[in-house]
Structure 1
Amino acid sequence: MIEKTFPKSFPNITQNQQPGMEEEMNPQPIFQHDEYSFNSERLKDRVAIITGGDSGIGRAVAVSYAREGAKVAIIYLNEDDDASKTKKIIEDNGGICLIIRGDVGDEAFCSSAISTVISSFSKIDILVCNSAEQHYSKNIEDITYDQLHKTFRTNVYGTFFMIKASMPYLKEGASIIITTSITAYQGNETLIDYSSTKGALTSLTRSLAVNLAPKLIRVNAVAPGPIWTPLIPSSLPAEEIQSFGSKTAFKRAGQPVEVAEAYVFLASQGASFITGETIHVNGGEFVTS
């Protein structure tokens, strides 16, 4: 079983800049199962936008969507190598991938990115709002205005801006999927502002689901627990990385590939009667807390 190969601990190696580079991680995150084949058809002929799709959970979702037949547009901040690698993985397996560089916290960029996708693919069927920023702070007094603003700008404003810009093109049957977090439900003593943004996104998911139900557009969320992504070594102190994920029932962190299938399901017709809900992928952390 592939699960036996998943690491249970990590070296205490950090990165100095967010959102982090997957290519510099050790061990590398696992974003696809070798036994999966491309050209399945659950998302055939659909167009998906994934913010933060260059690496981590976003890369795993992008590869999974392409495997299921979707054309994929990846939006990323500045991780050119990671984005290019994701694009190559998809295209080497017969998929179609567009990469767009920019900051989702900038409303004008979000509008421009949507226009680029429409120019390339003529429609949008799936929007995954996955870009995120987090900062480690032991005390609320340590959280500056600039940090608070940056975290909300990326996580909350970026999600709002992307959804707002997409609305003219989302039709009946479209799906919006928001990445929230276990921290929205459980809290986190050193990720205070990040947890607050994820709580906001959880409420946004529920409110927008009701708002868009008359248009038959579904809005759902995925709440990952500890997942090994570039955000971890680029935001947590070295002493916390070695034991990252050890509090789950499985005594390890999850891998991006273990989250991606939830996004595939929510985007597919198999979830046609599901809206306003959150799928929790956390290795049983609620059970152990």
Structure 2
Amino acid sequence: MSAPSIPEVFKKGWKPPFQEQSGAPGKQHGALEPQPVDDVTADGKPYKASGKLEGKTALITGADSGIGRAVAILFALEGADVTIVYKPEEENDAAATEKYILEKTKGARKVVRAPFDLRKEENCQKLVEKHLKTFGRLDTLVLNHGTQQEIGDVSSIPTEQWNDVFNTNIHSFFYIVKAALPHIPTFNNSTIVFCASVNPSVGHPGLVDYTATKGAIVGFARALSNQIVGEKGIRVNVVAPGPIWTPLIPATMSKDSIQKFGVTTPIGRAGQPVEIATNFVFLASADSSYISGQVLHPNGGVIIA
């Protein structure tokens, strides 16, 4: 039997075509070409699950598209029931993600769609309540949602944008953790995983506000881990991706930037959501039982000191 061919998007030098979308983040279903890769690994093989999350339930934000969609798919393949959280205006992406999960798992997994504006604390509380009402427990909390808008001059960043980025990217993390933590089982391999970015480590000059929130996420995770891992046995970790082909990118990136997107990494290409989602599977599973307060860096080979 011949080995599967490596998809073009995993080959050195691949870069996405320029395409404009309004708003941030952008849409994926029916709008982004080529579609990001969710469950095929870089060797061209379908993702092979092994029951790592069997019997678990997970709440995953930003799960309609991009990294969050891939995380939800892999979690379901590994045996978890999932709540996929998304902005209300991204219903089409969320419905497509739910449909795909049900098809891939042949209906064996339960998926709940939860459209919420997470900038409001009361919505974060309602989100946790919805998950608990459906599943009765919350084993893994994945906070992946975020927004960005590239502006190269800090004096040109509108105060409204600064506040919106912080409300979306870090304040909501606090609201959700505060509401969820009392309901996460203790000393039962329960986990919290945040999505940050390579940007706090390299200092992205065009994303000052976004970069600041992603650095705050890392600090929040480390402090939270030290607070709860010994007392409650709930592990807290972070995934900090590098350039990834997701709907968050084309909505904000200039034509010049997209021509360089990913190819400046040591690996020489942009990453795919599946290459990030496998990190979340690892951190949510018993495979990482001795890891907490740490940051994984799937970023194409960028060295983090």
Which range, TM-score by smaller chain? over 0.9
1:168-207 deviations in Å (ceiling 9; x for gaps): 2111221000001100111101011100000100100100
Select 2:116's aligned residue among 95, 98, 102.
102
TM-score by length of 1: 0.96
Q: Residue 24 of structure 2 contacts residue 149 of structure 2 at CA under 8 Å; is this kept in 1? A: no
CA shift at 1:5, angstroms? Answer: 2.1
Select 1:22's aligned residue among 24, 28, 51.
28
CA shift at 1:4, angstroms? Answer: 4.3
1:48-68 deviations in Å (ceiling 9; x for gaps): 010000100000000000000
**Residue in structure 2 matched with residue 90 of structure 1 by the alignment:** 101
**Residue in structure 2 matched with residue 164 of structure 1 by the alignment:** 178
Q: CA RMSD in A?
A: 1.5
**Residue in structure 1 matched with residue 222 of structure 2 by the alignment:** 206
Select 1:236's aligned residue among 253, 272, 282.
253
**Residue in structure 2 matched with residue 80 of structure 1 by the alignment:** 91
Task: Write the letter of the residue equivalent to 1:12.
Answer: F
Q: Residue 249 of structure 1 contacts residue 284 of structure 1 at CA under 8 Å; is this kept in 2? A: yes
Q: Percent identity?
A: 38
Task: Write the letter of the residue equivalent to 2:140.
Answer: I
**Residue in structure 2 matched with residue 58 of structure 1 by the alignment:** 68
Q: Structure 1: how far apart are the matches of 2:134 and 2:5?
A: 37
1:224-256 deviations in Å (ceiling 9; x for gaps): 000000000011122211221111112110000
What are the within-5 Å matches in structure 2 for residues 270-285 of structure 1? 270-285=287-302
CA shift at 1:37, angstroms? Answer: 4.6
Q: Residue 74 of structure 2 contacts residue 278 of structure 2 at CA under 8 Å; is this kept in 1? A: yes
Task: Write the letter of the residue equivalent to 2:290.
Answer: F
Give the total of aligned pairs. Answer: 287
Task: Write the letter of the residue equivalent to 1:42.
Answer: K
Q: Which 4+ runs in 1 deviate beyond 4 A?
A: 1-4
Q: Structure 1: how far apart are the matches of 2:131 and 2:221?
A: 23
Q: Residue 226 of structure 1 contacts residue 244 of structure 1 at CA under 8 Å; is this kept in 2? A: yes
CA shift at 1:93, angstroms? Answer: 2.2
Q: 1:212 to 1:252 in 2, by over 3 A?
A: same
Q: Structure 1: how far apart are the matches of 2:185 and 2:228?
A: 10
Select 1:5's aligned residue among 8, 31, 35.
8
**Residue in structure 2 matched with residue 134 of structure 1 by the alignment:** 148
Q: 1:46 to 1:241 in 2, by over 3 A?
A: same
Unaligned runs of 5+ in 1: none
